[in-house]
Structure 1
Amino acid sequence: MTYVIHGATGAQGAPVVAALTAAGKPVDGLTRNADAVVPGARVVAAGYSSAEELTRAYRGAEGVFVHLPVTSEEDRRTYARNIVAAVHAAQPARVVFSTSGFTVDSPGDDRKRDSGESAVSILANGLVDSGVSHAVIAPELFFENLLMPHVIGPAREQGVLRYPLPAGFPVSWASHLDIADVAVALFERTDVSGVVSVGQYPAITGRELAEAFGARLGRSVAYQAITPEEFRVSLASLIGEGPAADVADSYRAMGALPDRSIIPERSAQKLVGVTPRTASQWLADIGLH
């Protein structure tokens, strides 16, 4: 029985593939490109747009790791429904779903959440209804967002870390490497279900984040809050106008919250004994210079 990993050549999927293959687990790497190379894994061409392809990929799987791509919310809802249909039909032994930082209801979290019509909620609720053993990984924000050229460039060259959140806004940052660690743990810990929050705790502010960058880069780095609209303009050339507008909207909504901190009672630290990397540890692990 194999582990099926969505986005096996991508930012979230590739670290999960690497962690599983390092542990000697058989892996099927799902990609849209049949000619892709996924070290240590068998490549399986299957797209989010086909419930039939996904069903074939999931059937007999020991575990499935899934996350939704960055695209229009309409497409994401379609993909979520296809994944749910495939899980219902194939009945894999275990599914681990990363929300990729999109909000999902979690016990003990009284912050305003979506109406249940978002792609993330459709997928999370569909997993509950499937009867399949599952867990939902819920990060807040990814450190890797800070590696986008318009963010890391000014930090290196000008000593300014620009991001669309207030300087004193606390965030429980996590990395894609942390998601992989937690996903592998959740494949083993089938007794853990529901939402598992992933991120450092206590949460840190933008000023503290800039200090970690400065220490790693060997220069003074200051944090500068920018508007979501400024962030959208910089992001559009990388991911497209529509997705960039959606991201900007999410940061506008985020700015109305007191923080983006995990709920410690549902944390990976407490539930599966995995402590996410600090900013300094992450910067060292990726070898930023």
Structure 2
Amino acid sequence: MTYIIHGATGAQGSPVLAAMLAAGNPAVAAVRTLDAVNDGVASVAVDLADAGSLAEAYAGADGVFVHLPMGPPEQSLQYVEAIATAVAKAKPARVVISTSGQIVDQPGSPLQANDDSPIATLIRRVGDTGVSTAVVATRLYLENLLLPVVSGSATLDGVLRYPLPTAFATSWISHSDVAEVVVRLLTDHSTTGIVAVGAHPGLTGPDLAAAFAGRLGRDVTYEAITPEAFGELISPLFGPEASGPVVDLYQALNTQERNTIAPDNSAQSLLGISPRSVEDWLANVPF
């Protein structure tokens, strides 16, 4: 058995690789350069734009975990074409796709990804190959709260600042909790289609602040800031080009009442897997 894990050195793939290995599954890190992987970890060099290199990696695989890196739509669609072509040729036993926070399970919502978007196209194209496929649909990652401009103000000033309204409920989820779901879906093919992951009911800003207060041992309040103000805070960290899409996302979210998963297709309902509380997640976060 072999499981191919894309992005194995990044925020999404690294926890999946670690969880697979911890469970005794023979996982292989699919990376651009082999020297990016720690010694002793099986790895394969791939090019997401090269269907040939992907098909070679996928051949005989029991599972493939893949997500689209951030980038312009034109580049992402090139990756989609290569991935789908490789899956159709190599026919791995299973493919699990992460939406990376893009919404694909709320038809009719303004937040729903367009049918011709890279993520929707990837899901459709891979599904058309006939390979057993599951999609992990996330919302917002708890790790976003660890940005220095967010956690730093909570630690120093007792104020958790984030670009969402105070009462805005979100199905927050950590990368490690997503990895638990991915491992199940890679190794157990009984569930296919979209599996939504995240807190349900959703968590509000004051809920997050209360969790930070417990972890830091001090009072922490929540303060909603504008997406534009958040963009100014993160621009020195990521640059204006990378910050722009983030601002656009939060501008869109601010037009809605919530950003939560539905219980019917949740990991809680379909798999019996619930995410940890924010308090439990923070207990393992160094400050």
Q: 1:110 Cα deviation (Å)?
A: 4.5
User: Does the 8 Å CA contact 2:29/2:37 hold for their aligned counterparts?
Assistant: no
Question: For the residues of structure 2 that align with 1:162 and 1:215, how far apart are their CA atoms?
Answer: 17
User: Does the 8 Å CA contact 1:21/1:40 hold for their aligned counterparts?
Assistant: no
State whether structure 2 residue 65 is matched by structure 1 residue 65. Answer: yes
User: Does the 8 Å CA contact 1:72/1:243 hold for their aligned counterparts?
Assistant: no
Alignment correspondent of 1:167: 166
Secondary structure at the aligned position of 1:195 is classed as strand
Alignment correspondent of 1:125: 124
Secondary structure at the aligned position of 1:252 is classed as helix
Question: Alpha carbons of 1:143 and 1:40: their partners in 2 closer, same or farther (altered >3 Å)?
Answer: farther
User: Does the 8 Å CA contact 1:9/1:38 hold for their aligned counterparts?
Assistant: no
State whether structure 2 residue 227 is matched by structure 1 residue 224. Answer: no
Question: For the residues of structure 2 that align with 1:223 and 1:273, how far apart are their CA atoms?
Answer: 31
Deviations 1:149-176 (A, max 9, x none): 1111111111111111101100110000
Question: For the residues of structure 2 that align with 1:233 and 1:155, how far apart are their CA atoms?
Answer: 18
Question: Alpha carbons of 1:2 and 1:99: their partners in 2 closer, same or farther (altered >3 Å)?
Answer: same
Return 233-242 or 89-98, whichever deviates more: 233-242
Which of 271, 284, 287 is 2:285 aligned to? 287
Question: For the residues of structure 1 that align with 2:238 and 2:92, how far apart are their CA atoms?
Answer: 32
Alignment correspondent of 1:48: 48
Secondary structure at the aligned position of 1:216 is classed as helix
Q: Which amino acid in 1 is paired with 2:229?
A: E
Which aligned pairs between 1:75-154 and structure 2 lie closer than 5 A?
A: 75-105=75-105, 110-112=108-110, 113-154=112-153
TM-score, normalised to structure 2's length?
Answer: 0.95
| Unaligned ranges ≥5, structure 1 | none
Question: Alpha carbons of 1:288 and 1:82: their partners in 2 closer, same or farther (altered >3 Å)?
Answer: same
User: Does the 8 Å CA contact 2:102/2:113 hold for their aligned counterparts?
Assistant: no
User: Does the 8 Å CA contact 1:161/1:224 hold for their aligned counterparts?
Assistant: yes
Q: 1:234 Cα deviation (Å)?
A: 2.4
Question: For the residues of structure 1 that align with 2:72 and 2:233, how far apart are their CA atoms?
Answer: 18
Secondary structure at the aligned position of 1:245 is classed as helix
State the aligned residue count.
286
Q: Which amino acid in 1 is paired with 2:13?
A: G
Question: For the residues of structure 1 that align with 2:167 and 2:206, how far apart are their CA atoms?
Answer: 7
Moved over 6 A (4+): none
Q: 1:85 Cα deviation (Å)?
A: 1.6
Question: For the residues of structure 2 that align with 1:240 and 1:49, how far apart are their CA atoms?
Answer: 25
Q: Percent identity?
A: 47
Q: 1:72 Cα deviation (Å)?
A: 2.4
State whether structure 2 residue 181 is matched by structure 1 residue 182. Answer: yes
TM-score, normalised to structure 1's length?
Answer: 0.94
Question: For the residues of structure 1 that align with 2:254 and 2:193, how far apart are their CA atoms?
Answer: 27
Q: 1:40 Cα deviation (Å)?
A: 5.5
Question: For the residues of structure 2 that align with 1:173 and 1:105, how far apart are their CA atoms?
Answer: 16
Alignment correspondent of 2:234: 235
User: Does the 8 Å CA contact 1:26/1:41 hold for their aligned counterparts?
Assistant: no
User: Does the 8 Å CA contact 1:135/1:194 hold for their aligned counterparts?
Assistant: yes
Question: For the residues of structure 1 that align with 2:29 and 2:47, how far apart are their CA atoms?
Answer: 12
Q: 1:118 Cα deviation (Å)?
A: 1.4
User: Does the 8 Å CA contact 1:216/1:288 hold for their aligned counterparts?
Assistant: no
State whether structure 2 residue 12 is matched by structure 1 residue 12. Answer: yes
C-alpha RMSD over aligned residues: 1.5
Alignment correspondent of 1:257: 256
Deviations 1:163-207 (A, max 9, x none): 111011001100000111000111232121111000011111001
Deviations 1:57-76 (A, max 9, x none): 11111000111112223322
Alignment correspondent of 1:269: 268
Q: 1:246 Cα deviation (Å)?
A: 1.1
Question: Alpha carbons of 1:114 and 1:37: their partners in 2 closer, same or farther (altered >3 Å)?
Answer: closer
Q: Which amino acid in 2 is paired with 1:213?
A: F
Question: For the residues of structure 1 that align with 2:87 and 2:61, how far apart are their CA atoms?
Answer: 10
Deviations 1:191-232 (A, max 9, x none): 211110000111110011111001101111111111111222
Question: For the residues of structure 2 that align with 1:270 and 1:206, how far apart are their CA atoms?
Answer: 25
User: Does the 8 Å CA contact 2:105/2:137 hold for their aligned counterparts?
Assistant: no
Secondary structure at the aligned position of 1:174 is classed as coil
Secondary structure at the aligned position of 1:123 is classed as helix
